[in-house]
A = this chain, B = another copy of it.
């Protein structure tokens, strides 16, 4: 796995890619496909609002270490802080933030499976045939997610190495865009299918929920795991452009999710934002 080899840049790029891919590409395709023959589709604002606020918190948690790094760099440049102690501080910060994110993940299970399950109940029932494990068996979901991440990381390293050599693409573009598109194919097809059946609540839940799960569960678990199986502790210091892409993706999702209505043009706007970010990642040196 990428983690074991210490290829943390690649791991972080694939985390970013999964978050913006699910928030913009999956959600955009679902909203576009669902809205193409309808005037509008509606969904429950409360559930979508909680989901997009949770995604925002997750994004804040993930970008803080990078922002911290820019501040600390100034102190290093002024010789007020040694580079070694800066790295140690960043790892400590990342570990504590990972703990907070993981606790929020556990609380979100309590919220969606216990205290407010009726918010999600309708969709689960309706979606029983589409996606049996949704919500009902969290432990199984966790295991599947973990296995999925392991498999994706595996895929990642081989794809990155091949694509970088043969197609002349940069590793960051492959990690953020290519791997995320391949890795999230299941979410893509499920979200688009349920959106076309006018089950927008479930489609929003898959798209936003997958992004949130990556940020609140997969990212912290990778940080914890790096202490045991990685060559050195992993931090959550994403590159500036990754920070930016996650921030913009979350902001746009919030705008679309807040009003409880969607139409094909909002889907096209989400895809356009994804396209603009993809172009920028392609051009990144």
| Chain A residues near B (Cβ < 8 Å) | 39-40, 45-46, 49-50, 52-54, 56-57, 60-61, 64, 67-68, 70-72, 75, 80-81, 86, 89, 92-93, 96-97, 100-101, 103-104, 107-108, 111, 115-116, 239-241, 244, 248, 251-252, 254-256, 258-259, 261, 263-266, 268-269, 272-273, 275-277, 279-280, 283-285
Q: Which residue of B39, B53, B248 is within 8 Å of A266 (Cβ)?
A: B53
Q: Which residue of B40, B70, B104, B269 is within 8 Å of A53 (Cβ)?
A: B269
As for how many copies of this chain the complex holds, the number is: 3
Q: Which residue of B93, B104, B254, B280 is within 8 Å of A68 (Cβ)?
A: B280
Top-10 shortest CB links A-B: A111-B265, A75-B285, A93-B283, A81-B285, A53-B255, A49-B259, A57-B269, A96-B279, A104-B272, A64-B280
A67 vs B265: C-alpha distance in the bound complex, in angstroms? 26
Residues B107 and A276 in contact, CB atoms below 8 Å apart: no
Would you call the interface of chain A mostly helix, strand, loop, or mixed? Answer: helix
Residues A71 and B258 in contact, CB atoms below 8 Å apart: no
Residues B52 and A255 in contact, CB atoms below 8 Å apart: yes
Residues A240 and B272 in contact, CB atoms below 8 Å apart: no
A267 vs B143: C-alpha distance in the bound complex, in angstroms? 29
- Chain B residues closer than 8 Å to A256, beta-carbon distance: 53
- Chain B residues closer than 8 Å to A61, beta-carbon distance: 272, 276
- Chain B residues closer than 8 Å to A263, beta-carbon distance: 46, 50, 111, 116
- Chain B residues closer than 8 Å to A264, beta-carbon distance: 111, 115
What would 12 more interface pairs be, CB under 8 Å, given A68-B284, A100-B275? A39-B116, A49-B259, A53-B266, A54-B269, A57-B269, A64-B276, A68-B280, A68-B283, A71-B284, A107-B265, A108-B265, A111-B264
